[in-house]
Structure 1
Amino acid sequence: MSGKTQLFKNLKNFRLITFDVTDTLLRFRYPPPIQYAKTATELGVKNINQEQLNECLRKEIKAMAIAHPNFGRSTNLGWQQWWIQLVKNVFRHVKPNIPPEQLDMLAETLLREYRTKEYWSFMEGSVELVQKIRDADKFVGIISNFDPSLSTVLREMEIEHLFDFILTSYEAGAQKPDAKIFSIPLERCNIKPNEALHIGNMYEIDYVGAKNSGWSSLLISQDSNKYENVEVMHVYASIKDVINALENKDIKW
């Protein structure tokens, strides 16, 4: 049996296949703390304590998610101000004496540049897998905990056209693993949960969220051995491994 035939067989019961984005299809060119420091240095904010920046960014993302969930949608802050406030809060802790105009420029630059291809790269095999699924005549979509700029990012990376829809948590008004965000594509495409498959890299958010919503799911994780509740044929270390499995194995759903 050819690889294409086997892939068609493995996916025959599905009409819709969706993907997470960050660390599933795309990844940051540099880890955010490194990129924040790099951009700050380019804008004249120097001698940054990288360890302190790492810790501040981690804490501030958690704090902002609590105070203004879903990139500020829940509190009407708005996603642009959410990111600007986050950046300013981080650098106020790291560089307390940074001039306000320099802080404004840094926040606005990071907000803008993270929507360009300069700050992103592809996970190996991601475009190949999406194209193979499209060739199998399936609906293909995105379900991502992301702000509304995701379409811009995908357009910059020249893959927006590969998807029938792009659903962000901001648009949905709910974040994965909430079942609400998984229900919206089903309604749009008139598809039953057992006809849908979601592929992502986060166990609770992607795999469990999809399964609890009645979907099938594939998990991409290099820590595959630690997930006792995931079928061995439903977790893979990379997208390349997913392609290999779809084309060469009988996957039981």
Structure 2
Amino acid sequence: MIKAVFFDFYNTLVRFWPPVEMIQLAVCREIGLTVTLEGVRSGYALADVYFNRENAQIALAGRSTKAKDEFFANYETIILEGAGIEVSPQLASNIWKLTGLIPKSFTPFDDTLAVLLELQKSGYLLGLLSNVNRELEPLLRELGIQPYLDVCITSKEVGAQKPHPSIFLAALERLGLKPYEALHVGDQYQSDVLGAKGVGITPVLLDREGRYEDITDCARVTGLHQVKMVLESLIPRNS
């Protein structure tokens, strides 16, 4: 029986505002590159896969300044390639730095707080598992998310990134639960789905843009409101 629901942070519970895709679009157009919003969205989907794969191998936080610059130049290159544009590594690096000059902040998705409240009222323990290398509690309080959480585990705390087992196991230990008693919701297949599976937690892939219809080895939802339906489907029925 599922007793707890864990969530990823970025692109699951919260997003940037203005959206990073709109920032990218504005910068590209400012320097004369013709891209579309859909193209940029496709590029970010590809770049985020690269980000999570590379970050799982060597944590970005532990890389040198030069290595970080190279990483984000590659990240930007993938975004633009996904949008149908080829640029030099230097131009990619410059574009990425320009996007960083535009102020942005975290904001919850429209469904986040309502779903957290519904799950809390239904008796589920709730947790946040994030690869961010920072203290999250002040931000979570500001966003109105903190009151719903029973546990918050970050990579800064455990010294490892999802899909490493330690971040999932730390949450289970904190709540005194077995892996089969938890469900984890996240937007990244490698870090969230495979990470949860690796320790025996039931994974749910959040696919807000409908880009992962080929994924069939786990439950897939297009919005957080569907998580409750997944939970209900896992409740044993009397024969």
Identity %: 23
Alignment check: 8 A CA contact 2:7 2:128 kept: yes
Alignment check: 8 A CA contact 2:72 2:93 kept: no
User: What's the CA shift string for 1:184-240, capped at 9, x where partnerless?
Assistant: 11222222112211111222221221122111222222245412323xxx2222222
- Provide the rounded CA distance (Å) in 2 between the counterparts of 1:144 and 1:198: 11
Which among 216, 223, 233 is matched to residue 238 of structure 1?
A: 223
Change (3 A) 1:209 1:94: closer
- Provide the rounded CA distance (Å) in 2 between the counterparts of 1:192 and 1:14: 10
Q: Which residue in the other structure is 1:16 paired with?
A: 4
Query: Structure 1 residue 149: deviation in Å?
Result: 4.9
Q: Which structure 2 residues correspond to residues 149-168 of structure 1 after superposition, within 5 A? A: 149-168=135-154
Q: Which runs of 4+ in 1 moved over 6 A?
A: 89-92
Query: Structure 1 residue 20: deviation in Å?
Result: 0.9
Change (3 A) 1:252 1:203: farther
User: What's the CA shift string for 1:121-172, capped at 9, x where partnerless?
Assistant: 41x4222221122113332110122231543443332222221222222322
1:47 to 2:31 alignment: yes
Aligned-residue Cα RMSD (Å) equals: 4.3
Change (3 A) 1:241 1:224: farther
Q: Which residue in the other structure is 2:159 paired with?
A: 173
1:209 to 2:205 alignment: no
Q: Which residue in the other structure is 2:91 paired with?
A: 93
Residue 166 of structure 1 aligns with an amino acid whose one-letter code is C
- SS for the counterpart of 2:216 is coil
How many residues are paired up?
A: 214
- SS for the counterpart of 1:147 is coil
- SS for the counterpart of 1:176 is coil
Structure 1 unaligned segments of length 5 or more: list them: 1-12
Residue 234 of structure 2 aligns with an amino acid whose one-letter code is I
Query: Structure 1 residue 94: deviation in Å?
Result: 5.3
1:250 to 2:219 alignment: no
Query: Structure 1 residue 245: deviation in Å?
Result: 5.0
Alignment check: 8 A CA contact 2:53 2:190 kept: no
Alignment check: 8 A CA contact 1:207 1:219 kept: yes
Q: Which residue in the other structure is 1:229 paired with?
A: 217
Structure 2 unaligned segments of length 5 or more: list them: 77-88
Q: Which residue in the other structure is 2:16 paired with?
A: 28
Q: Which residue in the other structure is 1:69 paired with?
A: 58
